[in-house]
Amino acid sequence: MGYKIAPKILSLAILSLAILSANSDLPLWAGEKPVVQGSVQIPDIGSRPDWVIAIHGGAGVKAHDQMTPELAGQYRAVLGKALKAGAHILKAGGDGPKAIEAAIMVMEDSSLFNAGRGAALDSHGNARHDASIMNGANMDAGAIAGSTRIRNPIAAARAVMERTENVLIAGSGADWFAAEQGLSLADPLYFQTERRRNMLLKKRENEPGKLAEHGGDQAALFGTVGAVVLDRDGNISAGTSTGGRTNKRYGRIGDSPIIGAGTYASNGSCAVSATGHGEYFMRYTVARDICARMEFAGETLEQAAGQVVIKSLKAKGGDGAVIAIDPEGKVVFSMNGSGMYRGVMTSETPARTAIYADEMVSE
Ligand code: ASP
């Protein structure tokens, strides 16, 4: 199998090439150790895979000194489970949006990530969820924002896309819609975890009166989850789900439910799911911009994702990362910080995951 023959050295060569081609004037590597200011990675997907799924669990990776092998193992185990849930659908010929929903639901149900249970809490101490999904085959899209009762926000986003003429439903309207559609609801307390309450209390104690917009610890801020898929019919799609940012202003909506900012998919260019400082991703329409560069400027996926995330966005102060896929199934992870919980699996390669920007995905 191509994947088995391709040793780590080949992966590293591809990684270095990708970094050089996308960011030739950035001092990304100094001496033997990488100075991680950004990384554009292209994982091996095998040759001509029938289906591909790539996922992320947010750009807010813990600092190395706060990460234990046990905790890293827990993150990687949930990422692996999410990949397999999506792969199960794709193997059976299910479409991209179904696979995205299945993969994201695993991460929403885990309290490790900032989505579903374990979502970041807002300035009123509540979890309010944003999610979106887009089908690149027909440009259909669906999203919900500011919901407090929907157990799996990505399922509601897919229901908006497939069962209504609307694209975005917000607030109590989103909760009401989910109930009407028979989707699973939860008590608002179900979403709250001790870890997130402590993060909120710490943030308010250290920065009284300041809201999330004033920056701070990335691990406390960016933990959004997302997925991009190529299905057996050759269609690409993308989805994203989040609790937003710790101590976000009551009513604040980020980029994750905004089509073109946090999520975008078109069979004519690419599919993208983003994580990071949402206000920047909205202002710079990051997901659409990456695909538009491919469409109008003829750039490759790695060039477009590197240019937007590492060059343009970082220069403006927009921290974050994206996962992206093109119609051939090529996957790109583009990060302008220290990493992103991420993983990839294809019809030809096993589930592999990574956390930091200076590592490639591995089993
Ligand atoms: N992009 C999300 C937001 O700003 C946060 C994240 O990626 O974790 O709402």
Separation between Cα atoms, residue 327 and residue 287, nearest integer Å = 15
Q: How far, in Å, from the CA of 279 to the mean position of ligand 1?
A: 9
Residue bearing tokens 């009407």:
180
Is pLDDT at 9 greater than 90 in this prediction?
A: no
Q: Give the pLDDT mean for 149-164.
A: 98
Enumerate domains of the chain plus CATH numbers. Answer: 7-356 (3.60.20.30)
Is pLDDT at 90 greater than 90 in this prediction?
A: yes
User: CA gyration radius for the chain?
Assistant: 19
- Is 285 annotated in the active site? no
Average pLDDT score, the chain? 89
Token representation of residue 346: 């294809």
- DSSP-assigned states of every residue in 61-114: PPPGGG--HHHHHHHHHHHHHHHHHHHHHHHTT--HHHHHHHHHHHHHHSTTSS
Q: Give the pLDDT mean for 298-318.
A: 94
* Shortest-distance atom of ligand 1 to CA 224: 8
Alpha carbon nearest to ligand 1 atom 4, residue: 278
Separation between Cα atoms, residue 50 and residue 270, nearest integer Å = 17
| In the chain, % of residues over pLDDT 70 | 85
Is pLDDT at 31 greater than 60 in this prediction?
A: no
Alpha helices (H) along the chain: 2-5, 8-22, 69-91, 96-109, 153-163, 171-180, 194-206, 218-221, 278-283, 286-297, 301-305, 314-316
| In the chain, % of residues over pLDDT 90 | 77
Q: Quick one: pLDDT at residue 13?
A: 43
187 neighbors 148 (Cβ within 8 angstroms): no
Q: Which residues contact ligand 1 via a Cβ below 6 A?
A: 58, 60, 114, 222-224, 242, 244-245, 254-256, 262, 275-276, 278
pLDDT by residue (tens digit) across 263-284? 999 999 999 999 999 999 999 9
113 confidence band (pLDDT: 50, 70, 90) = very high
Catalytic annotation, pick one of 68, 148, 193, 224 = 224
Is pLDDT at 25 greater than 70 in this prediction?
A: no
Which of these, 59, 73, 55, 88, lies nearest to 220 by C-alpha position? 59
Longest Cα–Cα distance of the chain, Å, equals 59
Q: Quick one: pLDDT at residue 20?
A: 39
Separation between Cα atoms, residue 360 and residue 18, nearest integer Å = 12
